[in-house]
């Protein structure tokens, strides 16, 4: 195993997921690829002032997400763990699956937020979507119990 993909969403479980990935990367002498997938820009029919303000808000959020991913990247570098970081925009499960294939990822380490069965039935989950469709091994790090 040479490349471990770690999708990050900056939720409270991110640190636990990253710690797990770091342990594996050290043991396997693997590179960690950090990936943050931002929601796609809303599609608009018109270019009135409202959509422009939404685009500016999306741009600010992308800049902030990029800053956060770079901070995680620097943390890995200070611990002498080879790392790459990416911020992409799109539908989360679809983009994670695309990056797994494009980057020839050997293992995915991602978190589960521990939401209720009703939530999963109605909305699904990112980890569940990736787990069902990926051809590569997935390690799901459970959310801490409250």
Each residue's pLDDT tens digit, 80-110? 999 999 999 999 999 999 999 999 999 999 9
Residue 63 C-alpha from the chain's centroid: 16
Q: Do the beta carbons of residue 72 and residue 45 sit within 8 Å?
A: no
Closest of 44, 41, 23, 40 to residue 32, by C-alpha: 23
Lowest-pLDDT choice from 11-20, 78-87, 122-131: 122-131
Note the pTM of the prediction, 2 decimals: 0.84
Full set of structural domains in the chain with CATH: 3-141 (3.40.50.620)
Q: Do the beta carbons of residue 96 and residue 7 sit within 8 Å?
A: yes
Residue 66 C-alpha from the chain's centroid: 12
39-79 pLDDT, tens digit each:
776 655 455 555 667 677 777 888 899 999 999 999 999 99
């Amino acid at each position: 195993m040479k490349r471990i993909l770690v999708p990050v969403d900056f939720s409270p479980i991110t640190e636990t997921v990253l710690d797990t990935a770091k342990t594996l990367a050290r043991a396997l002498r693997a590179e960690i690829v950090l990936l943050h997938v931002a929601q796609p820009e809303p599609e608009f029919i018109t270019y009135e002032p409202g959509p422009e303000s939404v685009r500016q808000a999306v741009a600010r959020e992308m800049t902030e997400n990029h800053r956060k991913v770079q901070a995680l990247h620097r943390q890995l570098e200070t611990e002498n763990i080879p790392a790459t970081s990416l911020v992409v925009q799109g539908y989360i499960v679809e983009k994670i699956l695309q990056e797994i294939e494009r980057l020839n990822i050997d293992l995915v380490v991602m978190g589960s937020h521990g939401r209720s069965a009703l939530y999963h039935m109605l909305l699904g989950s990112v980890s569940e979507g990736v787990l069902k469709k990926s051809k590569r091994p997935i390690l799901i790090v459970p959310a801490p119990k409250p």
